[in-house]
Structure 1
Amino acid sequence: MSVHHLMLFLHVLGVAVWVGGMAFAWGCLRPAAAQLAPAQRLPLWAATFARFFPLVWAAVALIGLSGLFMLIERGFAGAPRAWHVMLLTGLVMIAVFAGIWLGPWQRLQRAVRVEDWASGAVALNTIRQRVGFNLALGVATIAIATLGLGL
């Protein structure tokens, strides 16, 4: 096994955790949790994010470090255009996630602690919108990586 193959594995593993987790949250947990009252739904989401977000940070580190390694290994000028697009979309996704972490995630945790369900619902809705954006961007990035899309 080469170092390149190890980096590729770590890269794909990070993507699977992050994008797969968002797909599960968006497509499975969100519709199921929508049937719960806010006093049940918001603590469920807070507990879910408390477990998922550290995994996202680990995935960000895996994706970033392995991607940078492979890009340097190939050389920026020699890398396929799709890799440069993936770098850009990845940086946007990280910025969106950091914005979730620093803003609505903090507000959701605070709202759940004090049982302010109205504020918690607003924070959760903001997270939902941003996760939806990141999920779409993540799927587009996977398409760029695997299909090339004329790049």
Structure 2
Amino acid sequence: MSSLIDFLLVFTHLAGAIVWLGGMVFAHFALRPAATQVLEPPQRLPLMAQALGRFFRMVAVAVVALVASGVWLLLQVGMGQAPMGWHLMLAIGLLMAVIFSFIYGGLYRALCRAVDARQWPAAAAVLNRIRVLVLVNMTLGFLAVAAAVSARA
């Protein structure tokens, strides 16, 4: 039974990381450039707001799954016995969660308000702030993966 629980915890942790990190890579390097290339602001900004809204709801679930599974796995081993990479992963993950909370709880709402009001320059400015913070979180996400891999070495 314990090995099944461990499997489910690790699977949940990895699935959450894949959804979050993979989604950021897709949004930043595929969706945003394509939308910018083919759509004018009155079409592009509502599309991005809708796409990000769907993605952010998935990320919110992923963050809860990541934190819960990560803490559970860490407590099974014990903080003192956990590899340094796990401690780094925890710190990076918590920082990422704070940044995501700011994006989703503040900037995304501002984006939706600007889009609903058809204030395209304001919406574009907020979307750019989101883009920068997503890039920060994506970088942190790759550092968290490196920390996890270092714990196995």
Per the TM alignment, residue 59 of structure 1 is displaced from its structure 2 partner at its CA by 0.2
The 2-side partners of 1:118 and 1:92 are apart by 29
The 1-side partners of 2:15 and 2:152 are apart by 22
Kindly provide the amino acid, as one letter, of the partner of residue 5 in structure 2. Answer: V
Per the TM alignment, residue 146 of structure 1 is displaced from its structure 2 partner at its CA by 1.4
Per the TM alignment, residue 149 of structure 1 is displaced from its structure 2 partner at its CA by 9.7
| Superposed counterparts of 1:1-150, under 5 Å | 1-35=3-37, 36-148=39-151
Stretches of structure 1 that go unaligned for 5 or more consecutive residues are none
The 2-side partners of 1:145 and 1:83 are apart by 6
The 1-side partners of 2:152 and 2:4 are apart by 28
Output the TM-score relative to the length of structure 1.
0.95
The 1-side partners of 2:105 and 2:64 are apart by 18
The 2-side partners of 1:7 and 1:102 are apart by 27
Larger helix proportion of the pair: 2
Per the TM alignment, residue 103 of structure 1 is displaced from its structure 2 partner at its CA by 1.9
The sequence identity of aligned pairs, in percent, is: 42
The 2-side partners of 1:89 and 1:80 are apart by 15
Number of positions where the alignment pairs a residue of Structure 1 with one of Structure 2: 150
CA-atom RMSD in angstroms? 1.3
Output the TM-score relative to the length of structure 2.
0.94
The 2-side partners of 1:40 and 1:15 are apart by 30
Per the TM alignment, residue 148 of structure 1 is displaced from its structure 2 partner at its CA by 4.3
Give the 3-state SS of the residue equivalent to 1:12 in structure 2. helix
